[in-house]
Amino acid sequence: MDYCALFVNPNATSVSVFPITIIKSVRFKYPCFLRQAPVSANLSITYDDEATNKKSSVHHDSLRVLEWGSLCDAVASFAGTSLGREATKAQLCSLNQTYEESLRLLEETNAAVEMHKHGGCRLDFGGIDAVLVKSAILQARRSLPVDGNKAMAVAALLQLADTLQFNLKAAIKEDEDWYRRFMPLTEDIMGLVINRSLVKFILQVIDEDGSVKDSASSMLKHARDRVRMLERKIYHLMESLIRNEKSEASFLEVSNIDGRWCIKSVADRLTSFKGLLLSSGSVTGSIVEPLSAVPLNDELQQARASAAKAEADVLSMLSEKMQMDLDEIEQLLDIIIRLDVVNARATYSLSFGGTCPDLFLPEGNGTSGSVASISGTKSSKAAYPIKREWTLYLPKAYNPLLLQQHRQILQKARKDVSNATNEIRRQKQGEIMSRKGDADIDLLSLEMQVTALEQAQPVPVDFFIDHKTRVLVITGPNTGGKTICLKTVGLAAMMAKSGLHVLASESVKIPWFDAVFADIGDEQSLSQSLSTFSGHLKRISDIQSHSTSRSLVLLDEVGAGTNPLEGAALGMSLLESFAETGALLTIATTHHGELKTLKYSNDAFENACMEFDEVNLKPTFKILWGVPGRSNAINIAERLGLPSAIVDNARELYGAASAEIDENIV
């Protein structure tokens, strides 16, 4: 592989190395773009033996900048069991699904959504302690006694599975179509093996609090009855001894030390009865086991030992019964955890209004193969409201993290209003309202915050990318939403791949991407002593090396961080390279006007811009398609109060500099 050294800063002491293919089309109007590196520069070239590690690294970095981990945490929080939450995060974070696996995951999610809509068959595993069940399985497999709490967890698991299976059968009996609508979960649930006799036995011998019932065995009942009888007998003896002490009685109390009943003196006083002095002290007093209580305490210890043995025998019998169905219980737990993962995806979708995407497998070069609906069957193009072929069709797509953040803030604000209302009501009822006016003002302020938050919903964006488009260039002002748009598309692609519904309106169409690569923000590798600019180029180089014709590439502010002319040239060259031999789809944001002209010389490019309200000088966070945008930096500066003379001069200078670009666009 040929390499080309890119040397941007003549005073720099290091050189970044990139494949020659990235910078092969630099235009002659930027003759100073390529510089010769100093002889002393240390060039670090990476060869193929490190390719796997580098791909893993760039993939990990992409997930991090897209905040995929935060979304995984959000979805996992909807699982009902702790093991379900762990499994949900593991499944989502892997992102190693094949196209067929992604379709199956979407089918599962849709089936769980249908179950929620049915009501009687909804999946709810909140009452299952999967950790205790797993521990019970391990203990039984080692022929160890299974304690009551773990046995009750197993019983709860079996009961839930039995109820779920019963409700599903009832729904299918009512309407056979439910069998199809609940597929592929139907087969899993109907195939559950449930030992009802084991549930019956557990409930017969274990109480709700996890303790072994007296009725679990005759030996246990006899031993516990004897324990209770002896405890009553000893307690009456102790009370009698204390009463006989007369004036000293107020200084004495019955105490239990290591299972033996004794009398404790709260002061260092002598007692009239004989006994064994267990401890003494001038401050703590003394503890005495009366001689008359020693035989009874000995009997009590023996009775407790007999009860403990009888209880252990019951638990051992329970463990033996579990061993007979251990494989089935373990398989049942695995299925329930898997269903819990599916339910977490479905509940997340229902909570945020997700839409199941039509996921299709791209054939490469921007063309699409057959489109698969949620049921896995082919759907015709007539199913889409727009009769053109789209690589990506995302109407009114929300960034899930922004939506979640807004919901959390709104929920907190509403809770604050509720708390303030309750406090005012409490104070009024208690007639301690000394500052009623201030309290009313605070409540009004909180209510206004809630109203403002309800009106300030996150703005959805529309993505309509034609199948011929390989590179989309998005321009617009800072804080206009360009980066959020990149993240929204990236998250939507990964959500669809991992079996999640996309937070968009109906008729979502999205390709199955083998990977999503992103270079977003001012991330840099300090350990490699890379500048921000070099760090971005290094990452983009890695992205180009590892992306395929089925990948999605997201580049934020491409070509930024260096001399504008050189940055624009490099940005154009990079995007042309991605258009020719790179990913299925590349979406890039930029401030460089030169990049807007690529559309007019190459059909693989498309322009879009973030809309800007020039009357109110505020971004609307909406995308305008087919037209290039402006950064509006001068208008924003005017709005922020920069002197008019400076603003007017900037407009004149900008007009002269941008004339050539505008001519190309027109």
Dump pLDDT digits (tens) for 325-378.
Answer: 999 999 999 999 999 999 999 999 999 999 999 999 887 544 444 334 443 333
Distance separating alpha carbons of residues 321 and 195, to the nearest angstrom:
10
Q: If you count them, how many residues does the chain have?
A: 666
Tokens (6 digits) for 61:
């970095």
Kind and range of the H or E run holding 472? strand 471-475
Of the listed ranges 224-233, 438-447, 538-547, the one predicted with least confidence: 438-447
Residues ≥6 apart with Cβ < 8 Å to 514 = 548, 550, 551
Distance separating alpha carbons of residues 389 and 636, to the nearest angstrom:
38
Whether the Cβ atoms of residue 356 and residue 106 lie closer than 8 Å to each other? yes
Rg, Å, the chain Cα set: 36
Whether the Cβ atoms of residue 282 and residue 268 lie closer than 8 Å to each other? yes
Whether the Cβ atoms of residue 591 and residue 631 lie closer than 8 Å to each other? yes
Q: Transcribe 23-43 into DSSP letters.
A: GTT--TT-TTSS-PPPTT---
**Alpha-carbon torsion angle 224, 229, 230, 235, nearest 10:** 130
Instruction: Give me the residues paired with residue 16 across strands.
Output: 6
The pLDDT, as a whole number, for residue 28 is 32
pTM: 0.77
Cα distances (Å, whole numbers) of residue 283 to 275, 276, 663 = 20, 19, 99
Nearest CA to 559 out of 493, 622, 475 is that of: 475
Place of tokens 């990977």: 515
SS3 content of the chain, % helix, strand, coil (to 5): 55, 15, 30
Distance separating alpha carbons of residues 354 and 93, to the nearest angstrom:
19
Cα distances (Å, whole numbers) of residue 472 to 56, 129, 464, 556 = 26, 49, 11, 12
Backbone angles phi, psi at 15, to 5 degrees: -130, 135
Distance separating alpha carbons of residues 486 and 474, to the nearest angstrom:
9
Whether the Cβ atoms of residue 546 and residue 10 lie closer than 8 Å to each other? no
Tokens (6 digits) for 175:
């309407």
Domain ranges of the chain: 3-55+467-488+514-631, 77-195+325-349, 218-314, 401-457, 632-666
Of the listed ranges 89-98, 193-202, 224-233, 426-435, the one predicted with least confidence: 426-435
Distance separating alpha carbons of residues 484 and 264, to the nearest angstrom:
72
Q: Which of 238-252, 346-360, 537-551 has the highest mean pLDDT?
A: 346-360
Tokens (6 digits) for 638:
């005017």
Whether 247 has a pLDDT exceeding 60, the answer reads: no
Task: Please report the sign of the dihedral spanned by the C-alpha atoms of residue 595, residue 599, residue 603, residue 608.
Answer: positive
Distance separating alpha carbons of residues 485 and 589, to the nearest angstrom:
9
Of the listed ranges 27-41, 419-433, 608-622, the one predicted with least confidence: 27-41
Query: What digits encode the pLDDT tens for the residues 465-511?
Result: 988 899 999 988 777 788 899 999 999 999 999 999 999 987 899 99
Question: Taking the domain 3-55+467-488+514-631, which CATH number applies?
Answer: 3.40.50.300
User: Which pLDDT band, with edges at 50, 70 and 90, does 531 fall under?
Assistant: low
Whether 541 has a pLDDT exceeding 70, the answer reads: yes
Q: DSSP H helical segments within 516-586, as ranges?
A: 532-546, 564-581
Coil, helix or strand at residue 352 = helix
Cα distances (Å, whole numbers) of residue 634 to 176, 640, 644, 648, 654 = 65, 10, 11, 9, 9
The DSSP code for 190 is: H
Tokens (6 digits) for 572:
């154009």
Distance separating alpha carbons of residues 452 and 323, to the nearest angstrom:
60
The pLDDT, as a whole number, for residue 620 is 79
